[in-house]
Structure 1
């Protein structure tokens, strides 16, 4: 097919080719989001089947998120330069090959390695899915395409915990089927992509691909997260402390490279906007809180409260349902009254919901103990995520909206990565405590209260740092706020798995 530049999109959404493009991008990005939600539910069974303790389970999540967060911006840059369809398809193939490796992993070490490789594939396909929609559809259809991508992607995310619970319940090895499902999905995505998706690239991209920035970011994050995960178990010996110091130094070097580079992955000029900087700081705090809590909720429900994998997976469905119902309305409200108040009240309400989860213990009832807390949490999150995304996009110059979205996405993933590494230790959930239901439950209560406080702090930050009105960019005026939905960790948009 002919190469189409970023400046001349013209595909009609309701055409057969338009529907094919939409299906390919939804299914492709849905693969990554599905794995994220399924693996959370499967963690206790993975631990039993492979003899893995708490630290190995933390790495089962963090190995994926680490490579994804470290390489996400590089994946978007490669797509702009080498062709978005090409990099998207390569990402799907890579992700699927690593999924097969996860399926046959005989022990936790190989599973963790395959999860890291999955993250590399996801870093190639995730930014490409949205970039393709932005590049190929005509302007009047773009918001509808992105809205359909977000909404239908939410169905995949919502189905993930239930599907994971069903497959995990088949047998102790049922969690392996979760990864095997990616194979037929990948075949469909590749066929749709080669048949319907036109190749596009940014002909104005200049300079070399920011490989030094990607390497520094990945190594810096990797050392810091490894030390924070392993440090408590090793009683913070000098090697672990040294890793933190070196990791922080590498991240500082990453910022220096981004400041001086000709084509940086993360243009630091974006952070000159107070709204952009403030919204990303709120993103970091709030997503750290929810990622840490959501890592532990399925574990608590299964190992302490006695829920089956299916019940534990299904328990989170109300969050997705409420967000699908209310997020677009929250986006429209932020357009009318400005983002400050929704982004202030929303995290505080979400924090109250997390605080209510401290009532969940050994004999918890879903209807009286779990569901009310999750509904309050979902209400707060619904008021937060769409205004947060709209503020990030509105604060960026029109030609940098894509990279602004990617930066915000990456900050959220990095926050989740650090939270999963740090929160269990802060809450007293050591590998020894993980093996004791009573000690695990006590640690869980501490963890959700810490997460609740973080959420509330995010609301206070919004009150101080976020402006009263959205910046009047062309994109904000022309696009439907319903389409400005973020890659939320637990809701429609994908992924922050």
Structure 2
């Protein structure tokens, strides 16, 4: 079957699904890795004797690498070919996984996670480029429904798999498991993906790259250093943020001059793209930032095992399983201004349950809240992305999705940093235990001891304390989580403001046209 006949048919046939299998396999590796590591953070604290803010860099370093390579993906796909570049990304991710398992210090682990991120950052954009070449942008909604498979497996399977591997084997296996999957994915990609015929259509914007990529990396580094420093006045926070912000501003001013800038900000003249980007940006700051704290509450306040925490997170993914395929179909038929507000309302209802947490909150309430949030999430992110891309010309889709992905990475980093700072500051307000200090000489607080005892009960044998101290500490820790969730809840409510401007009338998809090079560059990523 020819590429044109595939692209113009109404359904995703066997030829498209064969290619989709490669993309889904790579996406499963990348997305599972993010969710698996999220439940391993407390384990890293224990294994490497490091603070939560320090081990959080295993997530942040990965995100920084993503933000750095995403702007380069579209140009590199044209220059070197999508198949060749996709296999390089798979190899980088797999090698990075193997190296992570050999890490002897938290610094080494963070460095290897950056290498993983350089590969992982290209997997989804390149995979979507390959799929759109086969199916055409007029079926983006259906494509997103197919790519929803790894997005659903991530929230469900990642925490469970990570918890099981950590509890039954060791943390090393959350990375080692990627090695056989990576080898299979490389063989499958070599067999299933069409041969490359790279035809560079644009000159590379080196000056833009020298401003944007380092600017983003420095800015996000400063933002992500905030939880560890605890204040904006720390040089490691404001200095990289200032330099990075200046480079990004310089790029913004410069980007309107070249014909083919690294990031085409002219596309923000498109009202639909702008509104969708703002809506997604605000939502991600709120939801993704707080989302990292859900398993932490189960681990630190409720004393659950890593596996149990993963299982307790499953209802969120199950809820998304129900709505995401439906949302993918509706996105091609119904204006999202009529559906997304209802999905956001479900998230608000579910989120409210976590603002009420205490050390004995009913698991029925918490699991029900996660399920309702999952229902809402499945009907929010994918339709917003689909709606934005439908209004772009074929040659604009790659650049438009790159814009949205950069905003998504910035929003996720800001959200994680802000929520971590709020939670850390709240916990630091706990009453210190008279005469108790940690190895660094810092006073041990009631909340700090209670959280440590929940994860390692043997601590109480080494340091006998009045049980009322542990009880007060857990109460304080739970209130700290609740206060942090209230901030995220307010931000989710703020998402309704830009969401009210989403299109409520049907907008026809832009025609594919005859420009096959434009057709070949359509990276869409929800990472």
CA drift of 1:224 comes to 2.5
Q: Which residue of 1 aligns with 2:480?
A: 443
Preserved contact between residue 58 and residue 420 of structure 1 (Cα < 8 Å): no
Using the alignment, how far apart are the partners of 1:194 and 1:324 within structure 2? 30
1:152-231 residue pairs with structure 2 within 5 A?
154-155=152-153, 158-171=156-169, 174-200=170-196, 203=199, 205-208=201-204, 210-231=205-226
Using the alignment, how far apart are the partners of 1:243 and 1:422 within structure 2? 17
Q: Which residue of 2 aligns with 1:118?
A: 116
Between 1:383-392 and 1:90-99, the stretch displaced more is: 383-392
Using the alignment, how far apart are the partners of 1:351 and 1:106 within structure 2? 42
- Give the counterpart of 2:490 among 436, 441, 453: 453
Deviation string, structure 1 residues 216-250 (Cα, Å, up to 9, x no partner) = 33322332333333346264446233332222111
The verdict on how the C-alpha distance between 1:214 and 1:469 changes in structure 2, with shifts beyond 3 A counting, is farther
Q: Which residue of 1 aligns with 2:457?
A: none
CA drift of 1:26 comes to 1.4
Is 1:342 matched with 2:339? Answer: yes
Q: Which residue of 2 aligns with 1:474?
A: 510
Which has more radius of gyration?
2
Using the alignment, how far apart are the partners of 1:178 and 1:281 within structure 2? 34
Between 1:286-295 and 1:221-230, the stretch displaced more is: 221-230
3-state SS of paired residue (2:56) = helix
3-state SS of paired residue (1:316) = helix
Using the alignment, how far apart are the partners of 2:100 and 2:30 within structure 1? 14
Cα RMSD after superposing both structures: 3.1
Preserved contact between residue 26 and residue 153 of structure 1 (Cα < 8 Å): no
Is 1:262 matched with 2:259? Answer: yes
The verdict on how the C-alpha distance between 1:234 and 1:147 changes in structure 2, with shifts beyond 3 A counting, is closer
3-state SS of paired residue (1:190) = helix
Q: Which runs of 5+ in 2 are unaligned?
A: 431-446, 452-473, 513-521
The verdict on how the C-alpha distance between 1:143 and 1:282 changes in structure 2, with shifts beyond 3 A counting, is closer
Between 1:400-409 and 1:292-301, the stretch displaced more is: 400-409
Is 1:37 matched with 2:35? Answer: yes
Deviation string, structure 1 residues 32-81 (Cα, Å, up to 9, x no partner) = 11101111111111211111212112211111011102211212321122
Is 1:316 matched with 2:288? Answer: no
Q: Which residue of 2 aligns with 1:480?
A: none
3-state SS of paired residue (1:408) = helix
Preserved contact between residue 90 and residue 124 of structure 1 (Cα < 8 Å): no
The verdict on how the C-alpha distance between 1:485 and 1:445 changes in structure 2, with shifts beyond 3 A counting, is farther
Q: Which residue of 2 aligns with 1:63?
A: 61
Preserved contact between residue 292 and residue 420 of structure 1 (Cα < 8 Å): yes
Preserved contact between residue 357 and residue 479 of structure 2 (Cα < 8 Å): no
3-state SS of paired residue (1:243) = helix
The verdict on how the C-alpha distance between 1:235 and 1:329 changes in structure 2, with shifts beyond 3 A counting, is closer
Using the alignment, how far apart are the partners of 1:235 and 1:384 within structure 2? 33
3-state SS of paired residue (1:474) = coil
Preserved contact between residue 319 and residue 373 of structure 2 (Cα < 8 Å): no
- Give the counterpart of 1:79 among 74, 77, 93: 77
Q: Which residue of 2 aligns with 1:246?
A: 243
1:419-434 residue pairs with structure 2 within 5 A?
419-429=415-425, 432=428
Preserved contact between residue 353 and residue 377 of structure 1 (Cα < 8 Å): yes
Q: Which residue of 2 aligns with 1:98?
A: 96
Using the alignment, how far apart are the partners of 1:221 and 1:91 within structure 2? 21
CA drift of 1:92 comes to 0.8
Q: Which runs of 5+ in 1 are unaligned?
A: 477-483, 489-495
Preserved contact between residue 344 and residue 460 of structure 1 (Cα < 8 Å): no
Q: Which residue of 2 aligns with 1:21?
A: 19
Using the alignment, how far apart are the partners of 1:468 and 1:410 within structure 2? 26
The verdict on how the C-alpha distance between 1:334 and 1:124 changes in structure 2, with shifts beyond 3 A counting, is closer
Instruction: Report how many residues are paired.
Output: 473
CA drift of 1:9 comes to 6.9
Using the alignment, how far apart are the partners of 1:451 and 1:126 within structure 2? 27
Q: Given the two structures, how large is their TM-score scaled by the length of structure 2?
A: 0.81
- Give the counterpart of 1:398 among 371, 394, 402: 394
CA drift of 1:283 comes to 0.5
The verdict on how the C-alpha distance between 1:315 and 1:451 changes in structure 2, with shifts beyond 3 A counting, is same
CA drift of 1:112 comes to 0.9
Q: Which residue of 1 aligns with 2:413?
A: 417
Q: Which residue of 1 aligns with 2:304?
A: 307
Is 1:384 matched with 2:354? Answer: no
